[in-house]
Amino acid sequence: MQNPEANPWKVVSEKEVYTNTWISLIHHEVINPSGNPGIYGKVHFKNRAIGVIPLDVDMNTYLVGQFRFTINQYSWEIPEGGGPLNEDPLDAAKRELLEETGLKASQWTELCRIHLSNSVSDEYGYIYLARELEQFEAEPEDTEQLVVKKVPFSEVYRMVCNSQITDSMTVAAVLRVQLMIIEGSIS
């Protein structure tokens, strides 16, 4: 019996067709799982995705709003960004939280690791819960025009459930925190 988890794809050739500081696009000529020739495009990410859901003692969180070029719409999200592959993901999370919100946290919990769009990209993310928050000055990057708002976590959970928030890292983080609240590991 063949191992169902074995790779059924055969790569005949691959060629980088585009690259920039953040991504590269690779064109693959393949033999697909049914044995027929085909093509596959893969977006390779040169950084890992980092997300942080800050949660204060009153069960408020902080959302970051910005216009997302790729989807041509405004998006409310947890603080997110990229971390170089050679940087510790937690260090990247601390930096992103401070850059986008001005917050520092003294308690950190890794919530999950996530593939963000594994049908077309190899983007891999880490999501953290940040507690015991202190407010400092935000330091956004020059490509970011951000609005930060403090929102009761229960309202953010409703926004996710009503599809008002569709960012995958935010959805995963909010649902994971809600589960932790139900289980009693967050109060």
Residue 142 has pLDDT above 80, yes or no: no
Close Cβ partners of 12 (under 8 Å, ≥ 6 residues apart): 28, 29, 30, 31, 37
CATH dotted code for 48-183: 3.90.79.10
* Rounded mean pLDDT, 2-22: 94
- Reported as a single tens digit per residue, the pLDDT across 148-166 is 999 999 999 999 999 999 9
Describe the chain by its helix, strand, coil percentages, rounded to 5.
Answer: 20, 45, 35
State the chain's mean pLDDT as an integer: 95
- Reported as a single tens digit per residue, the pLDDT across 178-187 is 999 999 998 7
Residue 143 has pLDDT above 80, yes or no: no
pLDDT of 139 reads 77
Q: Are strands 23-31 and 60-68 parallel, antiparallel or unpaired?
A: unpaired
Dist. CA 76–CA 138, nearest whole Å: 17
